[in-house]
Structure 1
Amino acid sequence: MPRSRRSTGRALIAGAAALAALLAGCSAPASTGQATADVTGEVAEGLRPYYEQQVHWKRCEGRFECADIEVPMDYADPGGKRIKIAAIRTTGGSQGSILVNPGGPGASGYDFVRDGVDVMTTDKLRGSYSIVGFDPRGIKRSAPVTCLTDKEQDAAREESYDIDSDQGIAQAVKDATELGAKCAEKTGPVLGHVDTLSATKDLDILRAALGQAKLDYLGWSYGTFLGAQYAELFPERVGRLVLDGALDPALDSQAVTLGQAKGFEQALRSYVESCLAGSGCPLSGSADEAVAQVRDLIRSVEASPLTAQDGRLVPVNTFVSGLITPLYDEANWPALTLALTSALQGDPTQMLWLADQNAQRDPDGHYTGNTTFAFTAVNCLDYPMASDLPTMRKEAAELEQASPTFGRYLAYGGTTCENWPYKPVRKPAPVKAEGAAPIVVIGTTGDPATPYAWAESLADQLSSASLVTFKGEGHTAYRSGANSCIKDAVDNYFVDGKVPADGTKC
């Protein structure tokens, strides 16, 4: 589940959506599962043992097969420590395997396939391919980033900071520094190697472990970033790639946050208009007046945090996280209506429940994943961020102007990474993937987390991209039950090699 940038508060999550039309195209090069050619190809010195390892798939989780694939912790030292990438796959299908990534960074591809493969992929796709999910390095089962106990994470989510004061920002930096130190202590040196470039190199070892000369891949949201980086690094090994809900790899951290701030502001307005047109809406008046009521509610929580029925404190960042969560998918708007109705009466319990879904906290108080910490660790390595106060103040003003409702609470991301134990290893840059086979990029016009303009930009950058546009609301477009135009575009591409025409609109 793709996530948005975080601020001095906590990270946010995602869902998916879709709606309708028809298309055309040419043919993609044939892509078969068990390649007859050498699946290793040219590899850097010291990496051949990883590419040639024997992987043992065992029955697991009922109807699936699971395996661990070894990769080097540090690609600069392949003879050093090894880590294991946990993978799971469906069985059947004669056309090989499609690797999938649901987003993040920090989402578990293992859980995604085990719990949601029937929802997020179609019968046609599963009938033709084995669908392979994996936990990227640093996530859940694959050398996970480990930082806080469940109780410590509960306490951290109850913290709030006076971001208008220098002292408040200094406290946020202090707490983030302490968090980073705990992550380094509990995770070990792999914390410095959970960047996307390293995960991209893992992806190629996974491809070889599946016996495929070329990578067939389906990525949503952050998964598009991983897929685009793969195409840039290994263009000659690109099979059939679909990138749905695209991130623009050329954008810096502030530009990404600005895009999302504008996207969520528009998503809130779309929700409000729908709410006012229906029955039981707790808001009233015009759309502008209703949005203002939501802003007033958020500011009141900032001034005086609420207490949920289980006794937990709900500060503004947790409250905003809960409010944003259902904006990823209009199917979840009724849940937001219930949460707002209760919150306007002084009860934040429903809003906290939404925030708990984001944070992967179950009703017993157990955090079932490490998404929040992995999200931070990956982004601190992937994105250099300004952390000097004047620059952060300037960026915060830009965000609040772009999104009067949410911008304030998406700002000051630099406080998190200022004293992170490891420095960034990547600079944002466009990708070209010269020589790659046709790549399908999908953008949704009303996507709040990965704005449509990013899909346009990525498609322009990639030398062989075909852009498919879904006119609708929600984050990402392809899933079982989605509109037939999008489903057919993706399924016909993977199964029949039919590349949708560039500029296709659904």
Structure 2
Amino acid sequence: MRQTSTKRVVAALVVVAIAVLSGCALTPKAVDVVERPLTGSDAQSPGAKGGESAQSGSDPAPAPSDVPAGLRRFYDQKLRWESCASGVSFQCATLEVPLDYRHPGGQTIELAVLRLPTKDRDRRLGSLVVNPGGPGGSGVDYAASAPWVVSPPVLNRYDIVGFDPRGVARSNPVDCLTDKQMDSYLAADGSPDDAKERQTLLNEAREFAAGCRTRSGAILGHVSTDDAARDMDVLRGALGDKQLTYLGKSYGTYLGAKYAELFPQRAGRLVLDGALDPTLSARDLGLEQAKGFEVALRAFLTDCVQRTDCPLGRSLPEAYQKLDAFLAQVDRAPLPTGQSRELTQSLAVTGVIMPLYVKEYWPRLRGALRSGLAGDGSRLLAMADEYVERDSNGTYRNNSGEAIVAVNCLDRPDLRSVKQAEEEQPAFVKASPRFGAYILWGSLTCAEWPYKAVDKPAAIHAAGAKPILVVGTTRDPATPYDWAVRLAKQLDSGVLLTREGDGHTGYMQGNKCTDRAVENFLINGKPPRDGTRCEAG
């Protein structure tokens, strides 16, 4: 979803949801990056001068036989790197790609790219492309947060490169709603209790889809993950790398896995952290994610009731009862917040979800719930706004709320009617009494989408690829641990690394064992033993 500033980076995921119960990239805003490269002299792509190269940073693009038909001019393009931030070494460029890969001679689009060159030029290994997930997270912003995204040993050996996928942020962004319309969309009751509420939700979904169709133009039908993976191979070629070295978080694991399936011989050292299981239908993906959020909530409540400042009581049953009663009360009567907007049930749930991604945020959630129980919804609303990156002046800082819907609706067939949602609701509520209905009904927008899905659930094997490192966290709220287990088994060369603990994704989450295993793989090309487990702490 929309990127949010914090000192801890958490990558994004997944399910389309009106209540914004999909993944979120909580990303530090390390630097203000200009929208397009500044005017200036062309900066040459730096070559590797030493060290065990993971990818040849100085080699030209692949030979003609390696390039898909009709795409040679895209692979051969020279990225014009230019300074794009004062006081730091970030460089920006634009990458030209075809709008439709079936017709490479037709319309083209430009993608924004950012690079932080490594300072240790003599030991440079090549480029590490990073993606935060979403779908809809900005790779440019993610790379601009490089010190929080990768550890110093990796930062010292690679140029960190991020690109905004098509339809995202600076790359022909999908546009669907005004800021006021987005406020209404996010505040709508995401767990409708009667026909009137269901119709209101359907109207919001229709307005969203219609807005996307009229405001976005041709790009709307070409923002699938398949498209993004093909773009990433063009980027690899333009960077001069024989193989892709990649760190994908959350939904970015699907992008990385899709890349490996399409281009197994060009897949170098790939790290897929917070994995998505590509065999899941949209329905099953949402159902299992709902279970994951419920597991994360239980971990929070278990911790809360042991603390003197817990506003929910001293036992787990009491905590559940008080939380459920609070959400039901907000559904009946939204809370005042000290501003024109009230805290609706959907916004309250979003405010609860946000801190479940990062354990260090749990004290904030305790405080926000304390205020909410006292009749003040301002702190929960502030966390909901932080999650979707809504400024206090009512503006949204990027389009990830629109992009996540657009990508998901193309990536896999989804909910197609109100009747289907009504039939599925008992299963979702059983799986997750607090979040299931929101995730289910949030998919309703795809029922009104002007384009059919272009992909479908299927196992990804990436036959012929080098070892691919899959990282899973045992109590991940957004990408359940089982997804990492399944993806590692599907991939012919998959290697599973497990982090015991809470929070979303494993690398750069304060676990030295996990960080060192990822570093050793990226720097030395040596994956950990398949099934390695890193204990909490």
Partner of 1:494: 522
Note if contact 2:109-2:172 (Cα within 8 Å) is conserved in structure 1.
yes
Q: Deviations over 1:162-206 (max 9, x none)?
A: 723334323322321222111121110101101110011001001
Partner of 2:96: 70
Q: Deviations over 1:429-473 (max 9, x none)?
A: 110000001100000001010001000000000000110011111
Partner of 1:351: 380
Partner of 1:88: 114
Counterpart selection for 1:49 from 66, 73, 76: 73
Counterpart selection for 1:338 from 325, 343, 367: 367
- Note the aligned Cα RMSD (angstroms): 1.8
Tell me how far 1:476 sits from its aligned partner. 0.3
In 2, distance between residues paired with 1:389 and 1:160?
A: 14
SS in 2 for 1:74: coil
Greater displacement, 250-259 / 147-156: 147-156
Change (3 A) 1:308 1:33: farther
Tell me how far 1:16 sits from its aligned partner. 8.0
The yes-or-no answer on 1:9 pairing with 2:32 is no
Q: Deviations over 1:388-412 (max 9, x none)?
A: 3443223211110011121122222
Tell me how far 1:30 sits from its aligned partner. 5.7
Counterpart selection for 1:127 from 145, 150, 156: 156
Counterpart selection for 2:254 from 219, 225, 240: 225
In 1, distance between residues paired with 2:234 and 2:307?
A: 51
SS in 1 for 2:176: coil
Identity of counterpart residues, as a percentage?
A: 43
Partner of 2:143: 113
Partner of 1:237: 266
Q: Deviations over 1:275-295 (max 9, x none)?
A: 111221111031122022111
Change (3 A) 1:161 1:135: closer
AA aligned to 1:85 is L
The yes-or-no answer on 1:284 pairing with 2:307 is no
Change (3 A) 1:154 1:391: closer
Change (3 A) 1:4 1:297: farther
Q: Deviations over 1:33-92 (max 9, x none)?
A: 325475255223221111111110001123201111011111111111111111111112
1:140-289 → structure 2 map (5 Å cutoff)? 140-160=169-189, 163-289=192-318
In 1, distance between residues paired with 2:466 and 2:233?
A: 16
AA aligned to 1:96 is G
SS in 2 for 1:411: helix
Tell me how far 1:311 sits from its aligned partner. 2.1
In 1, distance between residues paired with 2:228 and 2:186?
A: 28
In 1, distance between residues paired with 2:25 and 2:179?
A: 24
Counterpart selection for 2:403 from 374, 377, 380: 374
Change (3 A) 1:154 1:392: closer
In 2, distance between residues paired with 1:252 and 1:30?
A: 39
Unaligned runs of 5+ in 2: 1-10, 28-51
Q: Deviations over 1:115-160 (max 9, x none)?
A: x211121110010000111111110100101122222222333333
SS in 2 for 1:188: helix
Q: Deviations over 1:266-324 (max 9, x none)?
A: 11111111111122111103112202211111111112222211221222111111110
Partner of 2:43: none
AA aligned to 1:73 is L
AA aligned to 1:81 is Q
In 2, distance between residues paired with 1:376 and 1:418?
A: 11
In 1, distance between residues paired with 2:411 and 2:283?
A: 13
In 1, distance between residues paired with 2:180 and 2:26?
A: 31
Question: Structure 2 length as normaliser, TM-score?
Answer: 0.88
Change (3 A) 1:347 1:6: farther
Change (3 A) 1:314 1:33: farther
In 1, distance between residues paired with 2:329 and 2:197?
A: 18
In 2, distance between residues paired with 1:311 and 1:166?
A: 27
Note if contact 1:249-1:429 (Cα within 8 Å) is conserved in structure 2.
yes
In 2, distance between residues paired with 1:395 and 1:362?
A: 35
AA aligned to 1:101 is N
SS in 2 for 1:86: strand
Higher relative contact order (CA 8 A, sep 6+): 1
In 2, distance between residues paired with 1:14 and 1:37?
A: 36
**Number of matched residues?**
493
The yes-or-no answer on 1:32 pairing with 2:55 is yes
Change (3 A) 1:33 1:277: farther
Tell me how far 1:8 sits from its aligned partner. 4.2
Tell me how far 1:478 sits from its aligned partner. 0.5
